[in-house]
Structure 1
Amino acid sequence: MEVGRVEGLSLTTFWLALGFTAASVLFYWGYSFGARVVLRRLATNGDGGVTVATFEWLPESLGRLASLTTWAATAFVAVSLFARWRAVGHAPWSNMWEFTLAFAGGVMLFYIVFERWYGQRTIGSFIQPVVLALMAVAAAFFPAEVRPLVPALQNQDLLALHVATMILAYGALSVSFGAGVMYLIQGGDRNRFPRLPKAGLLDQIGYRSVIVGFPLLALGIALGAYWGNSAWGRYWGWDPKETSSLVTWLIYAAYLHTRGRRGWTGTRAAVILVLGFIGVLFTYFVVNLWVSGLHSYAGV
């Protein structure tokens, strides 16, 4: 298959993934928060009975549709990345468009794992919007055309290891973000929304996703330092991207420390999870795009 056709396949499946992601957001929101009015006629001692209006959750089939469209979106992202790999001849994360697509795929992959693990579809109501935002930003602001690799990206083995590890870390930490946001919206033990997971389960999901994402983030930073020595002749130089990544790692370290040593759970823990993912997004978007440094090599 010629390069132009493979690149076209990558773009086509990207747009299909974006469409299915948007559909999944609507299905998840409808499943989590939607209700319908049902009129029921109650028998009375008098003639005719009484008609009353009751509310029912939208059917479980809507939740299954949400999961199905998420699976489809993930599959299309995988095809898009594979086609891009074939088109460019190297791992497809050498610019912001490619990496943002991989970022979105990593988020959905970990969400699917946790959805299957806990059997809680409603978590997707707060994670799939993150995926949709990532893909929309990629479509609106990041050029998708293939560009030659800059010298810093020539070491493909190290680049693939470093970026793949960071993608997995971001995917796991996105689940902790969704759990933290849901905990805060639920109002802790008040459990404002009956169809959302209970506060205790959300706290557990947030913790377990950090247990997965935190060491991956540490490994990704370490691999980045090793790659930095290969590209620039030093392991660590307090470049803005390095510093911001370290601060983000420290936020999650603080979460684990305060939970383990001080018993912080509940609202305080949820706030730290949200702050940690804000750190991830700040490092990824703000530092990459608007702060000058060695990691500005990929541009947009």
Structure 2
Amino acid sequence: MNWLDFSSEAFTAAFFLYCAAFISYAIAVAGKRWSNRDPQAHVARWSKIGFAAAILAWVLHLTFFFTRWKGEGHIPTSNMYEFMTFLAMAVMFAFIIVFLIYRNPLLGAFTLPIIIIIVAYASVFPSEVQPLNPALNSIWLRIHVTTAATGEAFFAVGFAAALMQLIRVVDLERTDKAGRRARWWTEFSLIVIIVIIGFLISVFSFRGAGYDAKFSQETVEIAEDGTVNSDINEVVYSLPPIVSPYNSDIVTFQPFLGMDKPLFEAPSWMTGVNAGRKLNTVIWSIISGLVLYGLLRLLARKPLIAVIKPHLTDIDADDLEEISYRAIAIGFPVFTLGALIFAMIWAQIAWSRFWGWDPKEVWALVTWLFYSAYLHLRLSRGWQGTRSAWLAVIGFLVVMFTLIGVNLVIAGLHSYAGV
């Protein structure tokens, strides 16, 4: 049996079942307004369908994980594709735990999209089996990575509940400055999510069309002894180049919408062979996300929070805050063990030091300090309501920067994870 092919098929099936589970939860939440007979029975029925689909998807996701492990010969968490797929599986596990406690279908309607986005984001990266970096060949890979991801998964569920809470309590009728500011920032939180979705749509659309452009870039380095070293690198774009690499020449370029060359060159201070390509990806993400947001606004003819808010009126905002807090309270000690304690033990074994101020280590510490502050302010200072919800939302943004920004943008000892 080809374990890797089987795991790939299981992963694809899991993705579509996650989508089906989200649709079922969305029908459970939104469709109760259309049910003329028994809205509660409608919610219960579709919620059960959604949970069953989610459980089946998770089982297939586990199948993918263990069959890929069997095919590779080591735990599949050693690169961005594998880690993000594991993170999605961990978020599903965290959702199951929290959902079984609170039995609220709204949680599924908000958490399943996060899982779907993470799975789709993982698919952007190469899925081929890659040689295991020697530093990763340790049992601590299994312990450190899995516990850290599980802690982050519970933070994701806390984020989903906190975002629901913010939309639930926002006042659409207030005209004062504070009211307008609250509406704008809540809507902006949705825009950030839509920008990520726009990025995924752009990548898969141009990938499906077979688009690519290539540049040759010359990099020059001056050594301490004055020696000048130059190197020629090839940079491949999968999105139409709005920004070309600094000090580069076009090798191949497929025209797009009348654009037969990049609009401008990446600034010289952006170092790294792929700096221009990364800037180009950020620009495409923002453009795609804003276009998608504009289309959604055009269809809805009102802010997206005004579309979602009516479906949240049946749930108490305090209950949403309790769900968010409990999820974060569960995830925090798990994250502490995985991202700090186990990571330091592994760092001592792999690099002969517990701490080295590597960017990933620093941002893991920043994440831990942020959630420590969240728990302290909520428990000791009485920060509840919207203040607590905003901390949960911002905290998960810090998590995502630690996972994505540090791995893909900032160079360091953990950069192998971005390959």
TM-score by length of 2: 0.64
Aligned to 1:142: 125
Aligned to 2:336: 218
Aligned to 1:23: 20
Aligned to 1:12: 9
Q: Which runs of 5+ in 1 are unaligned?
A: 40-53
* SS of aligned partner of 2:311: coil
Superposition deviation, residue 197 in structure 1: 3.1
Whether the 8 Å contact between 2:168 and 2:313 is mirrored in structure 1 is: no
| Partner deviation per Cα, 1:194-232 (whole Å, 9 max, x = no partner) | 565311111111111111111111111221111112111
Paired with 2:72 and 2:23, the residues of 1 have a C-alpha distance of 34
Whether the 8 Å contact between 1:123 and 1:196 is mirrored in structure 2 is: no
Aligned to 2:159: 177
Judge which range, 7-16 or 214-223, deviates more.
214-223
What is the aligned length?
281
Which of 42, 46, 49 is matched with 1:62 structurally? 46
Whether the 8 Å contact between 2:26 and 2:109 is mirrored in structure 1 is: yes
Whether the 8 Å contact between 1:176 and 1:207 is mirrored in structure 2 is: yes
Which of 377, 381, 384 is matched with 1:262 structurally? 381
Aligned to 1:46: none
Aligned to 1:49: none
Whether the 8 Å contact between 1:20 and 1:69 is mirrored in structure 2 is: yes
Superposition deviation, residue 299 in structure 1: 2.8
Judge which range, 104-113 or 186-195, deviates more.
186-195
Q: What amino acid does structure 1 have at the position aligned with 2:30? A: F
Whether the 8 Å contact between 1:189 and 1:199 is mirrored in structure 2 is: no
* SS of aligned partner of 2:17: helix
Q: What amino acid does structure 1 have at the position aligned with 2:343? A: G
Paired with 2:25 and 2:373, the residues of 1 have a C-alpha distance of 32
Superposition deviation, residue 193 in structure 1: 3.4
Paired with 1:117 and 1:59, the residues of 2 have a C-alpha distance of 17
* SS of aligned partner of 1:236: coil
Superposition deviation, residue 286 in structure 1: 1.1
Aligned to 1:108: 92
Paired with 1:38 and 1:279, the residues of 2 have a C-alpha distance of 40
Paired with 2:8 and 2:72, the residues of 1 have a C-alpha distance of 13
| Partner deviation per Cα, 1:157-200 (whole Å, 9 max, x = no partner) | 11110011112101211111111011101117998535653111
TM-score by length of 1: 0.88
Paired with 1:253 and 1:38, the residues of 2 have a C-alpha distance of 44
Paired with 1:249 and 1:136, the residues of 2 have a C-alpha distance of 27
Aligned to 1:95: 79
Paired with 2:162 and 2:376, the residues of 1 have a C-alpha distance of 17
Alignment of 1:26-45 (within 5 A): 26-35=23-32, 37=34
Whether the 8 Å contact between 1:33 and 1:195 is mirrored in structure 2 is: no
Which of 154, 177, 186 is matched with 2:137 structurally? 154
Whether the 8 Å contact between 2:321 and 2:389 is mirrored in structure 1 is: yes
Whether the 8 Å contact between 1:127 and 1:175 is mirrored in structure 2 is: yes
Paired with 2:377 and 2:25, the residues of 1 have a C-alpha distance of 32
Whether the 8 Å contact between 1:21 and 1:73 is mirrored in structure 2 is: yes
Q: What amino acid does structure 2 have at the position aligned with 1:216? A: V
Which of 302, 311, 326 is matched with 1:193 structurally? 311
Alignment of 1:45-60 (within 5 A): 58-60=42-44
Paired with 2:73 and 2:171, the residues of 1 have a C-alpha distance of 52
1:59/1:273 Cα in 2 relative to 1: closer, same or farther (>3 Å)? closer
Relative to its length, the structure with more helix (as a share) is 1
Q: What amino acid does structure 1 have at the position aligned with 2:354? A: Y
Paired with 1:9 and 1:92, the residues of 2 have a C-alpha distance of 15
Whether the 8 Å contact between 1:107 and 1:174 is mirrored in structure 2 is: yes
Paired with 2:43 and 2:335, the residues of 1 have a C-alpha distance of 39
Superposition deviation, residue 38 in structure 1: 6.7
- Say yes or no: does 1:123 pair with 2:241: no
Q: Which runs of 5+ in 2 are unaligned?
A: 173-308
Q: What amino acid does structure 2 have at the position aligned with 1:208? A: R
- Say yes or no: does 1:289 pair with 2:408: yes
Paired with 2:88 and 2:35, the residues of 1 have a C-alpha distance of 38
* SS of aligned partner of 1:66: helix
1:238/1:79 Cα in 2 relative to 1: closer, same or farther (>3 Å)? same
| Partner deviation per Cα, 1:75-99 (whole Å, 9 max, x = no partner) | 1110000001100111111111111
Paired with 2:61 and 2:116, the residues of 1 have a C-alpha distance of 12
